[in-house]
Amino acid sequence: MKSLLIPRGLVYAKLIRNHRLIKDILFHNEIVNEGKNLILNIMFHGIAAVHPWYVGLIDTDSYTGISLSDTMSSHVGWIESDDYDEGTRAEYEEDAASNQTIWNPISAFAIFTINATKTLKGIFVTSDDAKNGSSGYLWSTALFEDSNIGEDWEVEDDDVVQIQYGVHIP
């Protein structure tokens, strides 16, 4: 039997405006190199597991691209959007893995209450909860344009962005 260990991120994102669902997308994303190295170091090199994880938002301002070599201290192609009411990045509260997949349940979506009119590019998953923080590990980045809708998200004050994130290893 041949098996390849290729972790893939899965993003389910919703945009809610005035209590009405505006967008609802599901799409895959890549795990950055730092995230892949972290799996190997935790499993085979004895470093401590990282917990909890946090979800952040990627802004379109200054956006030129994401890269598998991005880290929290060096991601020159994108900046974080901190235009939401919550004081920190949203915690990723996952259930235990089952069938080679781990998710945060629907009851534990990462939630962002937007406080500006702007355009969002996507999300990222990190081990640091500080808005605009540059420490910790970067697990993955994901762009809304990679979804079935294929576009950035125009958001307004009081919109709510909800993110469910998972990792699957086929």
User: What's the predicted TM-score (pTM) here?
Assistant: 0.94
Residue 123 lies in a domain: yes
Amino acid 106: pLDDT: 75
User: What integer pLDDT is reported at residue 72 of this predicted model?
Assistant: 97
Query: Tens of pLDDT along 50-61?
Result: 999 999 999 999
How many other C-beta atoms are found inside a 10 Å radius of the C-beta of residue 89? Answer: 25
Q: Sorting pLDDT into bands at 50, 70 and 90, what band is 1?
A: low
Run of H or E including 56: strand 53-59
At a CB cut-off of 8 Å and minimum separation 6, what does 57 contact?
A: 80, 81, 84, 112, 120, 122, 123, 124, 161
Residue 51 counted as domain residue = yes
* pLDDT above 90: percentage of residues in the chain: 83
In a domain, residue 2? The reply is no
Task: Give me the number of domains the chain comprises.
Answer: 1
**Residue 86, pLDDT above cutoff 90:** yes
pLDDT digits (tens, 9 = 90+) for 131-160: 999 999 999 999 998 876 678 999 999 999
Q: Which residue has the higher pLDDT, 170 or 95?
A: 95
pLDDT digits (tens, 9 = 90+) for 28-37: 898 999 999 9
Q: Would you say residue 144 lies in a domain?
A: yes
Q: What is the mean pLDDT of residues 19-45?
A: 94
- Is 3 a domain residue? no
Could you tell me if residue 133 is inside a domain?
yes
Q: Is residue 1 part of a domain?
A: no
Under DSSP, is residue 140 helix (H, G, I), strand (E, B) or coil? strand
Structural domain range at position 115: 8-168
Let me know the angle formed at the C-alpha of 131 by 127 and 152, rounded to the nearest 5 degrees: 95
Task: Give the mean model confidence (pLDDT) for residues 21-31.
Answer: 92
